[in-house]
Amino acid sequence: MGSGFISRGFRGRRRHPELGDRLPPGQYPTGDFPVLSAGPTPRTGLDRWDLQLTGAVDAPRRWTWQEFLALPRETFTVDIHCVTKWSKFDTEWEGVSLDTLLDGVEHDAGYLIAHCDGGYTTNLPIEDVTGGKAWIAFGYDGEPLHPEHGGPARLLVPHLYFWKSAKWVRRLELSENDQPGFWEELGYHNYGDPWQEQRYQGD
Amino acid sequence: MAGTALPGRLSWHLADVVETIVETPRTTTLRLVVPGWTGHRAGQHVDVRLTAEDGYQSQRSYSIASAPDAERVELTVERLDDGEVSPYLTDELRPGDKLELRGPIGGYFAWDVADGGPLLLIGGGSGVVPLMAMLRQRAAAGSDVPARLLYSSRSYVEIIYRNELERLGADDGLDVIHTLTRARPPGWAGYARRIDEAMLAEMAWPPESRPLVYVCGPTRLVETVASTLVALGHAPGRIRTERFGPTGG
């Protein structure tokens, strides 16, 4: 910012005063729900699906699909911000809070590494996924979460850029050390705060 | 899933617009010289930032169309009628103007000659742009990696890079296959439908050849092609995808 450069002839049509302070810098609002992923959409049958909690924990945990759905669930409405510049407001989700999954787990981990079908990974500080800030979402807009959008279940951490909300999540690894994930290894920011426009390394 | 890390920080560059080329009624190529550019890998993209006089800014991402080069970068931009950035780039920008950009971004949907092949490229509409960078890179390097491009366009006049693809397709190692989904010129003998399983079974190499596959286009095309290839027996880890949705602008 602040280079002083002006794009000749560009006026900009799309200021969004109605959004107040809800639009992070460099983002634009969309009504669509764009799909972004690096490879084919995995199709794991629910009979084979499970969610595991592993790593620096006293005892690993595992939930089958039925066990996962039996956990206390929450519905919540949040804004989401993709590093490719779109933001989507008031999205409605249903999911299980990470606080619920971690309830009673003895650990001294500083980080959570999400591992997904298809090989995708992403890393987050533990304080960014606890305290009501993160869920494993299985419902969107009153419907089961569509595979293109990460179904049957995805991580949802709406206060960070959306690549941190890993689709098709299967394993949550608690770690004492930070381990850059898929996009973080490829030049994207390690933390990814949209309000600080932390898109890429060094931002 | 592995790639090459981008070192250091991505700073904004002020590029010189040296030429604009109307490719089709909806797409224009911007030829840029970017002082301080350090090159890219075919398939990567850049962020473009426009700034109005009152300080208002808008950013979008565009794929690089050109082969890697020390300072030259070409972007091919599709004009979205209700877009904010693309109509400026296609209609307003002219040689002598400057354009702020930073990159290169995205090291997974990228191909180098050393990545080998066979190289199977499948694109729809302006999704051909990063695939074209790969074909240009292959040609510039004199690579003999077998390559195929399956390219879906709505009509003949909407085929981006049509003449250059014809020239490149004269190379023994590269097959260029078009399909036209909405309108065909008289006498069109090629495919005339959306990409489907039968088409992929005919033109993709068999899974045993382990082609390296790059798919770019609208979400529906990418989803169909990627899942069909998996169903045909191709390894998911050999299929890389990039989406161009109707949003953006």
Q: Among all residues of chain A, which has the CA nearest to that of B55? A: A6
Q: Mapped to the 3 state alphabet, what secondary structure does chain B carry?
A: CCCCCCCCCCCCEEEEEEEEEEEECCEEEEEEECCCCCCCCECCEEEEEEECCCCCEEEEEEEECCCCCCCEEEEEEECCCCCCCHHHHHHHCCCCCEEEEEEEECCCCCECHHHCCCEEEEEEHHHHHHHHHHHHHHHHCCCCCCEEEEEEECCHHHCCCHHHHHHHHCCCCEEEEEEECCCCCCCCCCECCCCCHHHHHHHCCCHHHCCEEEEEECHHHHHHHHHHHHHCCCCHHHEEEEECCCCCC
Residue B151 structure tokens: 């390219």
Residues 106-145 of B with CB under 8 A from A: 106-109
- B56 contacts A26? CB cut-off 8 A: no
| pLDDT for the residue numbered A31 | 86
Whether the CB of B204 is below 8 Å from some CB of chain A: the reply is no
| pLDDT for the residue numbered B7 | 55
pTM for this entry: 0.94
Residues A141-187 have pLDDT tens digits of 999 999 999 999 999 999 999 999 999 999 999 999 999 999 999 99
| pLDDT for the residue numbered B248 | 40
- A7 contacts B247? CB cut-off 8 A: no
Chains A, B: CB contacts under 8 A, how many?
A: 134
Residues A23-43 have pLDDT tens digits of 999 999 998 888 888 999 999
Report the C-alpha gap between B179 and A55 in whole angstroms.
49
| pLDDT for the residue numbered B5 | 44
| pLDDT for the residue numbered A75 | 98
Residues of B with Cβ-Cβ distance to A186 under 8 angstroms: 3-6, 106-108
Residues of chain B falling short of pLDDT 70? 1-8, 245-249
| pLDDT for the residue numbered A32 | 84
Residue A175 CB-half CA count within 13 A: 17
Q: Are A61 and A52 in contact (CB under 8 A)?
A: yes
| pLDDT for the residue numbered B149 | 98
Residues A48-107 have pLDDT tens digits of 999 999 999 999 999 999 999 999 999 999 999 999 999 999 999 999 999 999 999 999
| pLDDT for the residue numbered B4 | 46
| pLDDT for the residue numbered A3 | 64
With 0-12 / 13-18 / 19 or more C-beta atoms within 10 angstroms meaning exposed / middle / buried, residue B45 is buried
| pLDDT for the residue numbered B246 | 42
| pLDDT for the residue numbered B36 | 92
- B5 contacts A185? CB cut-off 8 A: yes
